Amino acid sequence: MAGDSAIRAKMAQLAEIIRDHQYRYYVLDKPVIADSEFDQLWNELLKLEEKNPKLRDPHSPTFEVGGGFST
């Protein structure tokens, strides 16, 4: 379905943005957005995944657990 491909593309876009911000926050220790903005992106992706479980990427950041330690 055309709708499915648009939803899948949006989910992939959100996942890419989230991963970029996670890298900036956890690895570089230089976040560029507020935590509340990150939470909005995360919640948007999570809602799309909950509404469309068959389109959910098994490598989605919502499946990942925790992060490393910062020194």
pLDDT at 64: 83
Confidence of residue 1 (pLDDT cuts 50, 70, 90): low
- Residue range of the domain that includes 40: 21-54
Q: What are phi and psi of 42, to 5 degrees?
A: -60, -45
pLDDT over threshold 80, residue 56:
yes
Residue written as token pair 């949006």: 10
Q: Does 1 reside within a domain? A: no
| 42, part of any domain | yes
Q: What is the pTM of this model?
A: 0.86
Q: What is the pLDDT of residues 7-17, one digit of tens each?
A: 999 999 999 99
* Residue 38 belongs to some domain of the structure: yes
Give how many domains the chain has, as a whole number: 1
Q: What is the pLDDT of residues 23-46, one digit of tens each?
A: 999 999 999 999 999 999 999 999
Q: Is residue 50 part of a domain?
A: yes
8 contact partners, CB below 8 Å, separation of at least 6: 55
